[in-house]
Amino acid sequence: MTSSYLFHSEGLAALAGYVAPDTLFAFDLDGTLAPIVDDYSAARIVEPMRTTLDKFVKLAKFCVITGRARQDALDILGVEPQLVIGNHGAEWPADSYLQNPQFRQWSSAWQDQLHERLNGINGVEIEFKGASLSIHYRKATDQANTLSLIDAAIRDLKPSPRRIGGKYVINLLPMEAFTKGEALVAAMDIFGLKRAIFFGDDVTDEEVFRLRNVDVFGIHIGEDDQTAAPYYLSKQSELTGLLNSMIGILELHRFEGESTHEE
Ligand SMILES: [Mg+2]
């Protein structure tokens, strides 16, 4: 299946049918809503996106599913979506029945085991993120060799983690944790919504794009011949304009809803 450029395809008309108050609008964070920056900890949503999101959250159910920890994501967003799912689908709000406190204990146990095994290896940083753990090796001088050392170190961790590779990072998650795809389905269920629009650019976002038997309109940020998303935007900056058009449609829905209510 090839992905089509959203603005040059029948996709735009199809998308318009999804822009309604009974759709869940779901987004990855880094590289989707927030620009990718060299210093991972310095990522922020910048204008005009911030103003756009501020309007958007008042009009529709807005959900962010990110690899970051929830609090980290909330700080970057600067607006509060109806739902933020962190740690690649593993971390839910504290009051959610889907939040599993055991994940944090497992992640902490991995951290202890890895500190011993990776101690003294140049350029390796272990980041404890609550429900998951990230091992960064961007700063290693011999990255290929460092990766094989990390892979050897995680081979017999207790309990056994799920491994997700990224750019100079290995993420470890509980086997039982939701993938991003399962997290999106659970979020739709929580809000009682039967359809969703999802924007993402990560390898883990493919778990959402590959969902079947669920009504999800998938849009990849950036052209990519590997993605399962039916549509793509060429660059992240196109998303702001698209969201503003959606705001216009959602405001009309709200206006019509209010007039019907008054009759
Ligand atoms: Mg991303």
Neighbours of 108 (CB within 10 A): 12
Centroid of ligand 1 to alpha carbon of 252 (angstroms): 30
What pLDDT, on a 0 to 100 scale, did the predictor assign at position 255?
A: 86
The per-residue pLDDT of the chain, averaged, comes to 94
Cα 58 to averaged position of ligand 1 atoms, centre (Å): 24
* Ligand 1 mean position, distance from CA 112 (Å): 28
pTM score, whole prediction: 0.92
List, as ranges, residues with CB under 5 A of the ion ligand 1.
28, 30-31, 201-202
CATH class of 102-174: alpha beta
Residue 1 has pLDDT above 80, yes or no: no
Once rounded to an integer, what is the mean pLDDT over residues 78-101?
A: 96
Q: 205 CA to middle of ligand 1, Å?
A: 8
The answer on pLDDT for 262 being more than 70 is no
Q: Distance, CA 68 to ligand 1 centroid (Å)?
A: 10
What are the tens digits of pLDDT across the range 42-85?
A: 899 999 999 999 999 999 999 999 999 999 999 999 999 999 99
- In the chain, where the domains are located: 4-9+21-93+178-262, 102-174
What is the residue-wise DSSP string for the chain? ---EEGGGSTHHHHHHTT-STTEEEEE-SBTTTB---SSGGG----TTHHHHHHHHTTTSEEEEE-SS-HHHHHHHH-S--SEEEBGGGTB--TTSTT--THHHHHHHHHHHHHHHHSTT-TT-EEEE-SS-EEEE-TT-SSHHHHHHHHHHHHTT-SSPEEEEEETTEEEEEETTSPPHHHHHHHHHHHHT-SEEEEEE-STTTHHHHT--SSEEEEEEES--TT---SEEESSTHHHHHHHHHHHHHHHHHHHHHHHHHH-
Q: What is the pLDDT of residue 226?
A: 93
From ligand 1's centre to the CA of 28, what distance in Å?
5
CATH of domain 4-9+21-93+178-262: 3.40.50.1000
**167 pLDDT higher than 90:** no
Q: Write down the pLDDT at residue 261.
A: 60
Q: What is the Å distance from ligand 1's center to 65 Cα?
A: 10
Whether 153 has a pLDDT exceeding 90, the answer reads yes
